[in-house]
């Protein structure tokens, strides 16, 4: 006798809320270096914080905090691969105040410590961008932040 598990689909988020949820997600993606809180993100979406939390998780499959953490770690990976910044400098640049919290979260999501990750890429990766250039000019590819010739 086999048992069949039937997955119940969750009710979807009303379409009129999706614009606000996208606005909040875009805010996380754009301002990941800042201290973002649930109240502020819910205000961007135009919802109460608990309703925002439920709708965001239902729509994107993770909480706003998990999305913010993943964005910060993705950006840290970019910086560790492409620059000669120290792990401590990268930690601060991606919005973490604690090196310990950054390192443990990085290891949890990536599977290695930031130092190990950086060392692995140093052996096989492309030439690195000097940290002084990154700190002065950033790594943005937006036209409004391009360096004049």
Kindly give the confidence (pLDDT) of every residue in the chain, 149 residues in length, as a single tens digit, with 9 standing for 90 and above.
455 554 445 558 788 899 999 999 999 999 999 999 999 999 999 999 999 999 999 999 999 999 999 999 999 999 998 888 999 999 999 999 999 999 999 999 999 999 999 998 877 766 666 666 666 656 554 445 444 44
What is the DSSP secondary-structure string of 120-148?
A: HHHHHSPPPBPHHHHHHH-S---GGGPPP
Say what the alpha-carbon torsion angle 111, 116, 122, 123 is, to the nearest 10 degrees. -90
83 φ, ψ to 5°? Answer: -130, 170
pTM over 0.85: no
Q: Say what angle helices 114-124 and 99-110 make with each other, to 10 degrees.
A: 60
Helix (H, G, I), strand (E, B) or coil at 5: coil
């Amino acid at each position: 006798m086999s048992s069949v598990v039937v997955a119940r689909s969750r009710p979807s988020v009303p379409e009129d809320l999706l614009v606000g949820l996208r606005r909040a997600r875009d805010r996380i993606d754009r301002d990941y270096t800042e201290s973002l809180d649930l109240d502020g993100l819910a205000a961007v979406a135009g919802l109460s914080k608990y309703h925002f939390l439920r709708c965001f998780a239902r729509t994107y499959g993770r909480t706003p905090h998990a999305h913010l953490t993943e964005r910060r770690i993705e950006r840290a990976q970019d910086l560790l691969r492409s620059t000669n910044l120290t792990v401590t400098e990268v930690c601060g640049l991606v919005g973490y105040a604690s090196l310990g919290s950054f390192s443990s979260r990085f290891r949890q999501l990536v599977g290695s410590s930031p130092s190990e990750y950086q060392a692995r890429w140093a052996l096989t990766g492309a030439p690195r961008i000097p940290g002084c250039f990154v700190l002065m000019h950033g790594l943005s590819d937006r036209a409004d932040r391009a360096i004049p010739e």
